[in-house]
Amino acid sequence: MEGVFRHLGIALDRIRFCSVPLEVRTLRVQEPTLQSRGFVNVSSLAVLKHTAPNPAPQSGMIYLARSEAKVRRRVLNEEELQGRLDSSAQARIIFPEKLSFAEQLASLRNSDVVSGCEGSAFHSLAFVEGSRTSLMFCGSVPSLTYFLCDELVDGDAIYARCSANHCDRGGPVTRRTDWVLDVERAVDLIDRTSDDTVHDPGSAENRMAHLKPPDAPADRAIGQTHSVRRINQIARHVGARSYLEIGVFRGKTFNALDFERKVAVDPSFQFDLANYRREGVELHQMPSDQYFTRHGPSRTFDLIFLDGFHTFQQTLRDFCNSLACAHDHTVWLIDDVLPVDVYSAWPNQTEALSFRKRAGGESWAWHGDVYKVGFAIHDFFPMYSYVTLGGRGNPQAIVWKAPRVDFTPIFDSMEAIERLSYFDLLKREEILNVRPEEEGFRLFLESMAAGAGRGAPATARS
């Protein structure tokens, strides 16, 4: 790590390395630079600008090898490929973990082709700008993280599925993360990469799958939050063209989205509206109740994001009011549906933070009692299905029109739902249908695919 700081020109005397617990008065933490399979933050570009200028790449290929002791995903016969490359001098083999950070960058910069089996060593290419080809052999579809890092520096990457069904030297595949390299195909691809023919899609010899990310696209672009990523993923699958966002604040989500028509509603926007006004964009600075009574019934939306005041009453009212702006294929995304602790679930933010601080807690997390909306939808809106996305990112609920089979109310009383506490949530959390994000999206998409169609119907109001 010290080598990284030196490379970036940060004097070590400006850094305090702590090996024991330390109490600080103020702690500032930058947003994550990288979320695996999620996003690469634009702040990463600022880091790249502080790296030393890149020399022009020299000719030649390097192969990024890995020490078995540190590898969870093992390629059982990788040594066979390394031996072939070493004996033929087709590539210089390096072990990145045995080099300093500066030495790793020098090796990457002094080659025009970087090859190897999938692994985190390829992430270092984000520090190496310039025209350079990376050739990564994969046992299955690679993580989107590799595509994001490549997009960051506009690299020329080839992802080749190059697995075999058996391995005489490496033995049988005994773990889910193990895979076997098809050495002959890998060598052939390396030869054609050196000859600059690998990109010829018509080549009869081009038998390997040059993979694209499963959902290649806009929702995986650089700098996106979990809300933007999820909204784009929903929009792509339902063909959404119109979007309504309740509760915009600084516009971090709203201004990052691209729809033919999008409408923002907030009592007090915290950004310069003039910078974001354009055709198809409406910015209504007013309470959501006022917006719905003035404008709601006159239009419909394909996708509605509810992220307003984090109380059960207001969020439920926003959901009910937005039904007047919906058609049969409208999809809702509701934010902050799962609190992280009893303080986070308290409906008054000031009191919640004060109570936590008095109890010795330091978190600023607050979600309010929006979780009760899920119980209300369960009991009083049986024509709508929902799933709560757990895992990475803030928990959010997707809601769509699809009758629930064998519906039976649990509480059958709005008053009983309003009286629920955080501990009642813990006892009844299964009602909210909490799923890992990938599983939740799969459930939603399967339900939509079984429905009457996607996107706004032809009779929807504009």
> Binning pLDDT at 50, 70 and 90, where does residue 216 land?
very low
Q: What mean pLDDT do residues 215-219 have?
A: 35
Q: Which domain holds residue 100?
A: 48-210
Half-sphere exposure of 354 (CA within 13 A, CB side): 5
Pairing of strands 34-35, 39-40: antiparallel
Q: Do residues 93 and 132 share a domain?
A: yes
Same domain, 204 and 257: no
**pLDDT class of 208 with cuts at 50, 70, 90:** very low
Residue 5 inside a domain? The answer is no
219 lies in a domain?
Answer: no
Average pLDDT over residues 277-295: 94
Same domain for 205 and 231, yes or no, is no
Q: Which two tokens mark 21?
A: 């617990």
Q: Are 330 and 460 in contact (CB under 8 A)?
A: no
> Lowest mean pLDDT: which of 36-40, 359-363, 427-431?
36-40
Model confidence, pTM: 0.54
Q: Which residue has the higher pLDDT, 211 or 426?
A: 426
Last residue of a domain, one of 210, 233, 255: 210
Q: Helix, strand or coil for residue 257?
A: coil
Question: pLDDT tens, 75-97?
Answer: 888 888 988 888 877 788 999 88
CA angle 225, 370, 398 (to 5 degrees): 55
* Residues 194 and 281 both lie in one domain: no
**30-34, 130-134, 220-224: least confident range:** 220-224
Q: What is the mean pLDDT of residues 341-347?
A: 93
Segment among 125-139, 313-327, 374-388, 400-414 with least mean pLDDT: 125-139
**35 assigned to some structural domain:** no
Which of 210, 240, 274 is at the close of a domain? 210
Percentage of the chain exceeding pLDDT 70? 74
CATH number at residue 139: 3.40.50
Mean pLDDT of the chain: 79
Q: Are residues 306 and 430 in the same domain?
A: yes
Residue 373 confidence (pLDDT)? 97
Selected residue with higher pLDDT from 260 and 59: 260
CA distance 26 to 92: 48
Q: Is 247 exposed, middle or buried (0-12, 13-18, 19+ CB in 10 A)?
A: buried
CA distance 457 to 68: 56
Q: How confident is the model at residue 204 (pLDDT cuts 50, 70, 90)?
A: very low
285 and 428 together in one domain: yes
**Over 80: is that where the pLDDT of 457 sits?**
no
Query: Quick one: DSSP state of residue 10?
Result: -
Element (H, E) at 82: helix 78-88
Please indicate, yes or no, whether residues 198 and 289 belong to a single structural domain of this protein.
no
- Whether the per-residue pLDDT at 191 is higher than 50: the answer is yes
Confidence band for 61, pLDDT divided at 50, 70 and 90: confident
- β strands within 323-371, DSSP E: 331-335
Q: Please enumerate in sequence order all residues whose Cβ is within 8 A of that of 230, keeping only pairs 6 or more positions apart, or say none.
A: 219, 333, 389, 393, 396, 437
Q: Is residue 231 part of a domain?
A: yes
Residue 225 confidence (pLDDT): 74
DSSP 163: B
Asked whether residue 327 is domain-assigned, the answer is yes
Contact (CB, 8 A) for 338 and 390: yes
Whether residues 436 and 391 share a domain: the answer is yes
Total structural domains in the chain?
2
Domain's final residue, options 152, 179, 210: 210
277 and 172, same domain (yes or no) = no
Assigned domain for 138 exists? yes
Per-residue pLDDT, 333: 97
Task: Give the pLDDT of residue 177.
Answer: 62
Question: Position of tokens 């506009």?
Answer: 154
Does any domain span residue 354? Answer: yes
462 in a domain, yes or no? no
State yes or no: pLDDT of 106 exceeds 80: yes
404 and 273 within one domain: yes
How high is the pLDDT of residue 385? 96
Q: Is 137 helix (H, G, I), strand (E, B) or coil?
A: strand
As a whole number of Å, the CA-based R_g of the chain is 26
Instruction: Tell which wins on pLDDT, 196 or 437.
Output: 437
Tokens 């020399």 label which residue?
Answer: 55
Confidence band of 362 (pLDDT split at 50, 70, 90): confident
**Res. 228: pLDDT tops 50:** yes
* pLDDT attached to residue 72: 55
For residues 285 and 199, state if they share a domain. no
* CATH classification at residue 409: 3.40.50.150
pLDDT at 462 > cutoff 70:
no
In this model, does residue 6 exceed pLDDT 60?
A: yes
Residues 204 and 229 in one domain: no
Reply yes or no on whether the pLDDT at 58 is more than 50.
Answer: yes
Taking residues 219-244, what's their average pLDDT?
80
